[in-house]
Structure 1
Amino acid sequence: MLERIEDIVQKGRHEDRGGLAALVILEIMDTVRLIDMGFNPLYTTLQETVNKLECVSNELFNVAVCDTLTQ
């Protein structure tokens, strides 16, 4: 969404509709940036947790399945 808004602003389409539309588009862009900045640390933390969980699950799979197959 942020990319689409930036595309609109970069091409100047927000100014074609008048001053009020330009202000609204710029306000929406600022709001989306703030939301993105708020969720970025959460996304990073979740990604790290998922990576750790995947590593542990792979180890557990290797212990459970590989040990069973070798016995």
Structure 2
Amino acid sequence: MQQTQNTLRTVAHENSSKAFILSAQMIQLEVVQGAVARLMDRIDEITHKGWDKNPGMACCAIDEIRDTVRLIDMALFPLFKEILEEVKTLNVHAQDLYDIVISEPEVQSVWGKEGM
């Protein structure tokens, strides 16, 4: 029973830590989303000013857009991989918790007593 309680504490602690990390990564995603919104505004400005019709200005605009998209991609790709790993870990923890709480008879009896 002590082993089960320790395992539950460990998994719950790790789960909480991973959720905190995901919250921080969501903030990073908001920053990337803001960069995409600013890029879209810049593209609208370029087309509104007609720079897309002027070959010289179009080249400058394309270079600026390309550089911005590269920066966004540099931020987004590793962040996506990190979030994917965190979600996989959370799924493992969820399965561990399910296995402990639902599958182990001693835990079921403790939960049954507390529910009374």
Pairwise TM-score range, normalised by the shorter structure? 0.5 to 0.7
Q: CA deviation at 1:39?
A: 2.0
Partner of 2:82: 49
Q: Which runs of 5+ in 1 are unaligned?
A: 6-13
Q: Give RMSD over aligned pairs.
A: 2.1
Moved over 4 A (4+): none
**Alignment partners' CA distance in 1, 2:66 and 2:78:** 19
**Which structure exhibits the higher relative contact order, with contacts defined as CA atoms closer than 8 Å and separated by 6 or more residues?**
2
Q: CA deviation at 1:22?
A: 2.2
**Alignment partners' CA distance in 1, 2:75 and 2:69:** 10
Partner of 2:69: 36
Q: Which runs of 5+ in 2 are unaligned?
A: 1-38, 44-51, 105-116
Under a length normalisation based on structure 2, what TM-score does the superposition of the two structures give?
Answer: 0.41
Q: Which has the larger radius of gyration?
A: 2
- What is the number of equivalent residue pairs in this alignment? 55
